[in-house]
């Protein structure tokens, strides 16, 4: 089992945790279904290899009523029949915004326009905040090797 290098930095510097959780709370108030935000969190965490967030995000999504079938298929969402067009647009935006350096245009117009066809500006803000805060969580946890299933 992986040993943490240190405690999560937001625990070591406790003033950071309320700010991070504040962004998470704000992201959930943008009108995007919580299930979609759970999928976004899970996909970004998979891309970043954050086992802590993959496990924690899967557990939270399952508690919120998400099916195992859909959770298992998030990594292959393009080929899986379980996602709505709006969810697919959110997942594509998640991948582009998480893998910023994979292409010359970080988030191509095609991906942005697909998301904008399903979400209004406040909802897009919600998705972007969720993607950003998830990437922050992933970087804190992966860098310090927080073990999956652990607690802060």
What average pLDDT does range 12-30 have in this prediction?
97
- Residue at token pair 């998301």: 115
- Residue at token pair 């970004």: 44
pLDDT at 128 over 90: yes
Average pLDDT, the chain: 95
pLDDT at 82 over 90: yes
SS3 category, 76: helix
What average pLDDT does range 96-100 have in this prediction?
97
Do the Cβ atoms of 54 and 138 come closer than 8 Å? no
d(CA 25, CA 152): 18
pLDDT at 152 over 60: no
Q: For the chain, what's the residue count?
A: 152
What average pLDDT does range 99-124 have in this prediction?
96
Give domain 32-143's CATH architecture: Up-down Bundle (1.20)
Which of 55, 84, 82 shows the shortest CA–CA distance to 70?
82
Q: How confident is the model at residue 115 (pLDDT cuts 50, 70, 90)?
A: very high
The domain segmentation of the chain, as residue ranges, is 32-143
């Amino acid at each position: 089992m992986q040993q943490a290098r240190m405690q999560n930095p937001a625990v070591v510097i406790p003033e950071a945790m309320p700010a991070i959780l504040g962004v998470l709370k704000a992201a959930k108030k943008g009108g995007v279904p919580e299930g979609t935000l759970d999928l976004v969190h899970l996909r970004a965490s998979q891309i970043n290899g954050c086992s802590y967030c993959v496990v924690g995000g899967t557990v939270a999504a399952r508690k919120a009523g998400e099916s195992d079938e859909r959770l298992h298929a998030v990594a292959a969402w393009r080929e899986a029949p379980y996602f709505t067009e709006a969810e697919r647009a959110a997942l594509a935006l998640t991948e582009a915004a998480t893998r910023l350096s994979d292409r010359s245009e970080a988030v191509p117009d095609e991906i942005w326009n697909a998301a904008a066809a399903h979400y209004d500006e406040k909802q897009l803000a919600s998705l972007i905040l969720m993607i950003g805060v998830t990437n922050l969580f992933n970087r804190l946890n992966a860098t310090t090797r927080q073990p999956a299933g652990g607690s802060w």
